[in-house]
Amino acid sequence: MSADYKRILILCKTYPSPSSKHVETSCVAGMDDSGRLIRLFPVPFRLITDDQQFKKWQWIRARVRKAGDDHRAESFRISVDTIETQGAPLPTKNAWEERRQAIKPIEVFEDFNALETARQTRGVTLAFLRPHRLERLEISKARSADWTPDEIAKLMQAQNQGSLFDQDSEQRSLKLLKKLPFDFHYRYECRTDGVARSYEHKLVDWEAGALYWNICRRDDWQDAFRQRYFSEFSEKDLIFLMGTIHRFPDQWLIVSVLYPPRLPPGAVDQQSLF
């Protein structure tokens, strides 16, 4: 398949997982400059050079091609060595005005049932969903607190090979990826035409994992985590970036959370932006 260069606004990085081909990978998603959502996989993010390590809400330019082994319409393979960051992440000033305007072309679903119908009828596997409200955040122990021996072997590949992308470059120093010992699920409500429906989905955003590792030594870490991901976010104009699992196409995850402030009444028509 032919490869072309695309500009992509990064909206998501999932927490990394072990990979037999790439040591560890993250699923990255964003919006191309035509306004379409795009999934980039696999991205061994912690292995790429510092000047290529992009941030959420940052534009990048890279060569991509449609994934041959992933038939989801939004899925593309990225040539990691072609990644170029373009400017700083979009600012949050003026109530996220620049960020809101950037993602204005993206369709937003108001109910998960409508999103699932779009998957079945239009092949949508990556989309924005706006919950009406958060009902609760569930924190539970992961099925296994440690990597399996096979997963550890995959992660240790970096110790036995040089750079994945430039054989002449110096091998990057890389700490062994830590597995998250807890899972996070949102229970949330959608409301359309006066009808409320509740749903539950797992949260796999890298930001959530990073927050856990920053506070996990505290006795009250669960309270602090809920303060951020439930109490604070309940006051935001919250948007989930939802994505399906490749091996289980009817299963959805919350792969990223966008949390612009709520606009005051009469300031700007929120529907025109989100």
How many of the other CB atoms lie within 10 Å of CB of 235? 10
> Which of 245, 240, 244 shows the shortest CA–CA distance to 256?
240
Predicted confidence (pLDDT) at residue 116 exceeds the cutoff of 90: yes
pLDDT band at 111 (very low <50, low <70, confident <90, very high): very high
pLDDT at 178: 82
> Which of 31, 37, 43 shows the shortest CA–CA distance to 7?
31
pLDDT at 107: 97
> Which of 130, 135, 126 shows the shortest CA–CA distance to 260?
130
The CATH fold of domain 4-86:
OB fold (Dihydrolipoamide Acetyltransferase, E2P) (2.40.50)
pLDDT at 169: 41
- Mode of pairing for the β-strands spanning 59-66 and 84-86: antiparallel
Say yes or no: do domains 4-86 and 94-142+180-273 share a fold.
yes
Q: What tokens does 227 get? A: 């303060």
Return the domain boundaries, the chain.
4-86, 94-142+180-273
Q: What tokens does 87 get? A: 């400017």
Instruction: Please check whether the domain covering 94-142+180-273 is classified as CATH 3.30.2290.
Output: no
The amino acid sitting at 207 is E
What whole-number distance in Å separates Cα of residue 16 and Cα of residue 18? 7
What whole-number distance in Å separates Cα of residue 20 and Cα of residue 14? 18
Is 67:76 a contact under the CB 8 Å cutoff?
Answer: yes
pLDDT at 41: 80
pLDDT at 274: 44
Question: For residue range 218-253, what is the model confidence (pLDDT) as tens digits?
Answer: 999 999 999 999 999 999 999 999 999 988 989 999
What whole-number distance in Å separates Cα of residue 141 and Cα of residue 253? 18
Is 40:64 a contact under the CB 8 Å cutoff?
Answer: yes
Mean pLDDT score of the chain: 86
HSE on the CB side for 134, CA within 13 Å? 23
What whole-number distance in Å separates Cα of residue 222 and Cα of residue 230? 11
DSSP 223-236: HHHHIIIIIIGGGB
**Its pTM surpasses 0.95:** no
Is 81:31 a contact under the CB 8 Å cutoff?
Answer: no
Q: Return the higher-pLDDT residue of 217 and 160.
A: 217
Question: For residue range 19-51, what is the model confidence (pLDDT) as tens digits?
Answer: 555 556 778 999 999 999 999 987 766 666 677
